[in-house]
């Protein structure tokens, strides 16, 4: 696999397609260019998805995200484009992509895109109580 930017997203078979599990990724070093000024824009992307049959290969995702470095694109457009490309490759049960854009002109922008597969319902949330840091039984 190349170590150059690429718009190709590779995937591999989900090792446990019979079960819902969340894949959570932090992508803190995304860069592209402002389409109006040509100045760099920086974002922290968070990707959460519940795979169906396929999972994204991490190195290809890294090269894919890198491919936007010299591209002029609006925050909303690039977030949705990345989401659409991931959807086309993965067709997950659930996916949420959030982009937190660093301040530009005193404004922070957050863009979030979400998908739920038709007929898929999330399992109920289980809340487990936290253990106290100090036990009343200890002296």
In a domain, 131, yes or no: no
Strand order through the sheet with 107-116: 23-33, 40-50, 94-104, 107-116
* Structural domains of the chain, count: 1
Residue 87's CATH number: 3.30.1130.10
Residues 47 and 27: their CA atoms lie apart, in Å, by 8
Q: What residue numbers bound the domain in which 21 lies?
A: 11-116
pLDDT at 134: 61
pLDDT at 3: 75
Residues 41 and 91: their CA atoms lie apart, in Å, by 29
pLDDT at 102: 95
Residues 112 and 47: their CA atoms lie apart, in Å, by 10
Per DSSP, helices labelled H in 58-128 are 58-66, 75-90
pLDDT, averaged in runs of 10, over the chain (139 residues):
84 97 97 95 97 97 97 97 98 98 91 96 86 59
In a domain, 27, yes or no: yes
Report, as residue numbers or ranges, the catalytic residues. Answer: 34, 41
Residues β-bridged to residue 40: 33
């Amino acid at each position: 696999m190349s170590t150059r930017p690429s718009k190709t997203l590779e995937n591999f078979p989900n090792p446990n397609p019979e079960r819902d599990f969340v894949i959570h990724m932090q992508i803190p070093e995304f860069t592209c260019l402002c389409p109006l000024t040509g100045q760099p824009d920086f974002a922290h992307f968070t990707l959460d998805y519940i795979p169906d049959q396929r999972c994204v290969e991490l190195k290809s995702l890294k090269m894919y995200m890198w491919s936007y470095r010299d591209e002029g694109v609006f925050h909303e457009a690039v977030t949705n484009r990345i989401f659409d490309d991931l959807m086309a490759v993965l067709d997950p049960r659930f996916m949420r992509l959030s982009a937190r854009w660093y301040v530009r002109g005193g404004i922070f922008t957050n863009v979030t895109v979400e998908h739920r597969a038709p007929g898929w319902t999330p399992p109920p949330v289980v809340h487990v109580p936290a253990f106290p840091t100090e036990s009343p039984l200890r002296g």
